[in-house]
A and B are shown apart, each in its own frame.
Chain A
Amino acid sequence: MTGLAAAEATSAVVGTPALNFLIFFFFVVVTLVIAVSVAGGNRTTTDYYAGGRAFTGWQNGIAIGGDYLSAASFLGIAGIIAIYGYDGFLYSIGFLVGWLLVLMLVSEPFRNTGRYTMADVLDLRLKATPVRAAAAASTITVSLFYLLAQMAGAGALVSLLLGVSGSAGQDLVVAVVGVLMLFYVLVGGMKGTTWVQIVKASVLAVGAAVTTFWVLSRAGFSLSDLLHHAAAASPAGNKVLGPGLEYGVSTVTKFDFVSLALALVLGTAGLPHVLMRLYTVPNAREARRSVVWTIWLVGLFYLCTLVLGFGAMWLVGGKSILAAPGGGDSAVPLLADKLGGTLLFGIVAAVAFATILAVVAGLTITASACFAHDVYASMLRHGEADPAEEVRVARIAAVVIGTVAVIGGIYAKGIDVAFLVGLAFAIAASANLPSILYSLFWPRFTARGALWSIYGGLISSVGLIIFSPVVSGASSALITDRHIDFAYFPLNNPGLVSIPLAFFLGWLGTVTDRQPNDPARFARIQVRALTGVGAERGGRS
């Protein structure tokens, strides 16, 4: 590491692309070697989808953290703090607190009652092909939305990292991310991608901790001094230390934030790539332990982003962050450059890139498993597909999904990453969570209720996004032509409407259902959820 004085001297130039490329190349080679060496065939569905259910609680916990701490968390939240101050902190708390719902209501019942996907759980309770189809549709939609968010971030980030500024260059980088990610997924399966997540999460945690320590040392290890310097450096002054700079502008933005908060706290428990990871451990107890590990990792990481964000506000300044390629997302890499010079900048940027790569791999394996297991094996082949054939279908699906993500990422670049992820959370909370909770805990729940709630949540959340200022009518909208304005819904995040609506529809569809629900099925899912009877025991037998 260069000294502080040297860092000041080199701060005019942001990194050296050659060094950054070398660091990034090193990471890719190491993780590829790991993915290949642990893969070991991946012939059975349990190997390919669930890593043989052989991971321990802490391994899986760190891997879940790796899946969860996407570029939106690392770069997005710190960037929002660096520009808007306190409001970014509100984001991170929502992202963390939702984990308690996963821990207490979802993790153990899920591990006990499903095999690979969310649809397994609903199917055990309701035994209805249309419900499986609905669950698969919402799983794939949420995964694609999340994928899009990550891919959109990749283009902007790499333009900063490798000095690729042209549009064609960025598109090429997005495509390279897609190809690399597919390699992890196709060769490594769940086992390979899990190890990639573990390596990535560890590097990310160490990188964040070192940079945080560095920032704090500059502020004399006084949080108050850090905040003081940050506020002094910001044009908004002391306002950045309290909430409201981004969300307090008007009544609409206030309710928009409440909507986002609801989506964040309820969305985590409906994220398909998080839920699927619960199946990679041998039993429910390990699933619970892994979520506790995740909570610690994610929580401590977000506390670091608070320091990093205000540190970037102080040392880099909001103006130069917004002027850099990638905007707010560039706050942490620029901060690293200010502190540790080109080497630290290269490391942090490579970690961020690795983050995108790993999260994209996790999402792709989830969506492809959902297609192969739920749509192909269970619905098209009525559960009679040969496991090797099912794995082959999953690999083909992964290639298709990867391609769609690359194309989508090229079109979506430039949109704020944390914001897109917030929308994915809203869709997950609306379409997935109600039917999961009703299936596990409500005796009367019927297949019709599930269909109403899944499709109702999915259609209302996606529909409200389409008619929101995100898509048209605002200066930051997807459709830049201001004459096209169909933003009839005022909020950016649909959660405040679509989540209660989905819960209500699940209830309404059930109570108006003439077909009697099967009490034996509820008894079975409850007994299995709470005791683990009949769950596949994992690990090396």
Chain B
Amino acid sequence: MSLFQPSRGNASSTTASFQPGHGTVGTAAPPANRASAIGYEAVRASRDFWTIQRRFGSFVRPACIAFIIWYFLYVIVAVFAPGFMRISVFGDVNVGICFGVLQFVSTFAIAMGYRRWARRRLDPLSARLRNRLEGGPRQ
């Protein structure tokens, strides 16, 4: 999957980084105009940003792949092996109910895990880079 690759990108990317006249950043607001003075390609190629990108990918890629596989495993079993889902676990509670509730549990767990991880491992880095980039031109 190329989706999350922290690619340091096209070799040519650094050549086009000077575009002072490229003007407005989409429809963005005034602070963004100041930020457009930032050479985004240089930032993207920088070590700091590369670390953020790699860290982001290192959590999000496996987590997304895992939950999608886990969910479709559940769907496929429910649709094509309903007999398995009817096996009793205790009383009238069967495998299907337990498997379904586990989907809820795993969703809560991934959400809390991601929140905690991002707050500790990602936020400090991205806040530091943002402050440096936005604070830079003013000083």
A-side residues, CB < 8 A to B, are 86, 89-90, 93-94, 96-97, 99-101, 103-105, 115, 120, 123-124, 127, 222-225, 227-228, 231, 238, 241-244, 247-248, 254, 257-258, 261, 265, 285, 288-289, 291-292, 295-296, 299, 302-303, 306, 378, 383, 437, 441-443, 518-520, 522-524, 526-528, 530-537
Contacts and interface: CB of A to CB of B under 8 A. Distances in A.
Given A89-B100, A302-B104, A527-B133, 17 more contacts: A89-B96, A96-B104, A100-B107, A103-B114, A104-B63, A105-B60, A115-B29, A228-B91, A243-B85, A441-B2, A520-B22, A530-B53, A531-B129, A532-B126, A533-B134, A536-B32, A537-B31
Contact of B44 (A90, A94, A99, A527): A527
B44 A523 contact: yes
A104 B93 contact: no
A86 B96 contact: yes
Contacts of A532: 126, 130
Given A100-B67, A523-B44, A530-B56, A243 B31 contact: no
A363 B90 CA distance: 43
Given A104-B114, A242-B82, A97 B92 contact: no
A288 B118 contact: yes
Contact of A96 (B35, B59, B79, B107): B107
A103 B107 CA distance: 11
Which 3 pairs across A and B sit closest by C-beta, in order of nearness? A224-B91, A534-B35, A534-B32
Contact of A533 (B35, B63, B119): B35
B55 to A, nearest CB: 10
B118 to A, nearest CB: 6
B79 A227 contact: no
Nearest to B3: A441
Nearest to A302: B104
B97 to A, nearest CB: 7
A519 B129 CA distance: 21
A281 B133 CA distance: 22
30 contacts: A90-B78, A93-B71, A93-B104, A94-B75, A97-B103, A97-B107, A115-B27, A231-B92, A242-B86, A242-B96, A243-B79, A244-B79, A244-B82, A248-B82, A258-B75, A261-B72, A303-B101, A306-B100, A378-B27, A383-B27, A443-B2, A520-B16, A523-B40, A524-B40, A526-B44, A527-B44, A531-B49, A532-B130, A533-B35, A536-B32
A243 B78 contact: yes
A518 B28 CA distance: 18
B52 A536 contact: no
Contacts of A295: 107-108, 111
Interface in B1-51: 2-4, 7, 9-10, 12-13, 16-17, 19, 22, 25-29, 31-32, 34-36, 38, 40-41, 43-44, 49
Contacts of B31: 534-537
Which of B19, B78, B118, B119 gathers the greatest number of chain A CB atoms within 10 Å? B78
A533 B52 contact: no
A531 B133 contact: yes
Interface residues of B, number: 75
Contacts of A227: 91-93, 97
Contacts of A437: 3
A127 B82 contact: no
Contacts of A441: 2-4
A519 B41 CA distance: 8
B111 A100 contact: yes
A86 B123 CA distance: 41
B49 A527 contact: yes
Given A96-B107, A295-B108, A527-B43, A104 B28 contact: no
Which of A94, A115, A531, A532 gathers the greatest number of chain B CB atoms within 10 Å? A531
B9 A443 contact: yes
A225 B3 CA distance: 47
Nearest to A121: B26
Contacts of B63: 100, 104
A528 B32 CA distance: 10
B77 to A, nearest CB: 9
Contacts of A89: 96-97, 100
B117 to A, nearest CB: 10
A299 B104 contact: yes
A520 B40 CA distance: 7
Contacts of B133: 527, 531, 533
B129 A254 contact: no
Contacts of B16: 518-520
Contact of B7 (A103, A124, A231, A443): A443
A522 B76 CA distance: 37
